[in-house]
Amino acid sequence: MRIGAILRPALVLLLLALVLKPAWFTPVFAPLAPEGAPVIYARSSLLSLSLSHLGLVAAATTAATLVAVTLAILVTRQAGEAFRPLSRTITNLGQTFPPVAVLALAVPALGFGAGPTLVALFLYGLLPIFENAVTGFSTLPPTTMEAARGIGLNRWQRLVQVEVPLALPVMLTGIRLSVVISLGTATIGSTVAARTLGEVIIAGLLTSNTAYVVQGGLIVGLFAVLIYDALVQLEAHLVRRTGG
């Protein structure tokens, strides 16, 4: 992709400028703000909001990955076979739960703030990772597994040296889906008083200040697109390495 080579650094620079030097964009956003209203969101620094947003997503995704991959390893062993149909049912049903509803349902249990957001992101993030990890572990080429057994690797060695590396690209697809959903859901986390970039958008919606809405939307959108793209690149790299 020739376009990607130019577009990617340009978008990264745009994002950095939007987050670090928001004042530069005053003339761009000024026509969108209502008469006399502030143009650039200044109630808290965009950098700290971005870091807090990304931090929430990173923490939730890391926890979700650890738990989901462990569970996937368990249900793809012989001992966990009995839980396979149940786990499939849970992932199928769980993914029909709207992320916003999961977030809203976490509030009565956990109160306001970062807590319910983190839990909602974690729970919702589990499903795609688990589903893809199970797919990855159950579609390994039988000949490779046979060969691993043949050269005398024990079960633990087979898992660590053969199964996990081979299933990694598929797992990464699940993690990517989970990250993109989490970035979006974390935005809505602002409605339950978590510090995320959604704060900017919601402040804009409440005061009908379109400049805030566009500013927040643009930053979150750029983060999502760039992170998604980075993970796609990483997956392609891994596939080339394992499959090539």
Partner 1 sequence: MSPPGLLFATLGLAALSAPFMTLAANRIVAGEGVMAWAVTAPAVTLPGVAVIGAGLLLGLPSEWPRLRLAGSVLGLGGLLWLLMQGAPQLLEGAGDYARVSPAIGFWCLLVILMLLMADSLARMAPGPLARGALLAAVTGALALILWSGVLSQLSILQEYASRKAAFADAVLRHLALAFGSLATAAAIGFPLGILCHRQFRLRGTILPVLSFLQTIPSLAMFGLMIPILGWVGDRVPGAQAIGIAGIGFAPAFLALVLYSLLPVVGNTVTGLASAPPAALEAARGMGMTPRQRLLRVELPLGLPVILTGLRVVLVQNVGLAVIAGLIGGGGFGTFVFQGLNQTATDLILLGALPTVALAVASAVVMDILVELARPGSGRAR
Find the shortest distance in angstroms from Cβ 140 to partner 1.
Answer: 24
Note whether 97 binds partner 1 by CB under 8 A.
yes
- 170 to 59, 108, 206, 236, 239: CA distances (angstroms): 21, 35, 41, 11, 9
Find the shortest distance in angstroms from Cβ 168 to partner 1.
Answer: 22
Find the shortest distance in angstroms from Cβ 83 to partner 1.
Answer: 6
- For residues 144 to 183, the per-residue mask of contacts with partner 1, x marking binding by CB under 8 A and - elsewhere, is ------------------------------------x--x
Return the DSSP state at 30: G
Note whether 48 binds partner 1 by CB under 8 A.
no
Quick one: which segment of 15-23, 149-157, 161-169, 187-195 binds partner 1 (CB under 8 A)?
A: 187-195
Is 75 within 8 Å of 66 (Cβ atoms)? no
Spatial separation of the C-alpha atoms in residues 219 and 15, rounded to whole Å = 6
**Closest residue by Cα to residue 68 from 129, 123, 25, 118:** 129
Torsion of CA 137, 154, 241, 75, to 10 degrees: 10
Side chain identity, residue 70: T
Binding site for partner 1 (CB under 8 A): 32, 82-83, 85-86, 88-90, 92-93, 95-101, 104-105, 107-109, 112, 180, 183-184, 187-188, 191-192, 198, 201-202, 204-205, 208, 210, 213-214, 216-218, 220-221, 224-225, 228
